[in-house]
């Protein structure tokens, strides 16, 4: 019985730790036409708390940021979407940026948006991996954070059309 309890505890710690570990090395996958409902948390991947994250990207190319971030990824295939971010609860300057590969501090962003201005995603290279980083305003107060939600309207990643095994 003690072994089962320890295993359950280890598993719950691993799951809880993973919730805040969305970095370039382990991004959350994001898809087309995904939405969240504030408070209802219908899509937990799209509603996250930046206060549980770390500052894994201290720069976005030439833009310094001391803010915490959560990284999403997708593979472009006819990408033409609008990505909106919204704070849930207290306002903290929720922001999204779009970055091509490699996902690294030295990589320049190619798009941005905030809670007042959606980010338009288009003109991407089919088959290439891109990253959407959710963060607080890089120019805002240090360690600003809170809960945010992301809505994707349109097409972002490749979608499996058929699968067969012979």
Architecture of the structural domain at 22-157: Sandwich (2.60)
4-to-13, 14, 27, 117 alpha-carbon distances in Å: 14, 15, 30, 49
pLDDT of residue 2: 44
Integer CA distances (angstroms), 17 to 52, 77, 131, 163, in order: 9, 31, 21, 33
pTM exceeds 0.85 for this model: no
What is the per-residue pLDDT across 121-161, written as a single tens digit (0 to 9) for each? 888 888 889 999 999 998 888 888 998 888 888 887 644 44
To 10 degrees, the CA torsion angle through 134, 45, 125, 78? -130
Determine phi and psi for 3, rounding to 5 degrees.
Answer: -65, -40
Of the candidates 77, 76, 92, the one whose C-alpha atom is nearest the C-alpha of residue 149 is: 92
Tell how strand 129-136 and strand 147-157 pair up: unpaired
Determine which helix (DSSP H) or strand (DSSP E) holds 2, and give its type and residue range: helix 2-19
The candidate with the shortest Cα–Cα distance to 124, out of 141, 97, 99, is 99
DSSP helix/strand/coil, 27: coil
Helix, strand, coil tally for the chain in percent (to 5): 15, 40, 50
pLDDT digit string, tens, across residues 80-109? 888 888 887 667 888 999 999 999 999 999
CA-to-CA distance for 85 and 117, rounded, in angstroms? 9
State both tokens at 8: 């359950």
Q: What is the pLDDT of residues 18-40, one digit of tens each?
A: 444 689 999 988 877 776 665 55
């Amino acid at each position: 019985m003690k072994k089962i309890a320890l295993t359950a505890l280890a598993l719950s710690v691993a799951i809880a730790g993973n919730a805040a570990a969305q970095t370039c090395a382990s991004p959350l996958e994001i898809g087309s036409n995904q939405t969240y409902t504030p408070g209802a948390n219908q899509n937990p991947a799209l509603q996250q708390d930046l206060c549980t994250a770390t500052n894994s990207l201290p720069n976005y190319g030439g833009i310094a940021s001391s803010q915490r971030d959560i990284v999403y990824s997708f593979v472009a295939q006819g990408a033409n979407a609008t990505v909106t971010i919204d704070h849930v609860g207290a306002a903290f300057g929720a922001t999204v940026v779009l970055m091509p590969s490699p996902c690294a501090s030295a990589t320049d962003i190619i798009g941005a948006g905030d809670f007042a201005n959606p980010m338009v995603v288009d003109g991407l290279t089919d088959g290439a991996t891109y990253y959407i980083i959710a963060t607080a305003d890089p120019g805002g107060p240090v360690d600003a954070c809170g809960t945010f939600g992301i809505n994707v309207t349109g097409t972002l990643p490749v979608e499996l059309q058929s699968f067969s095994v012979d």
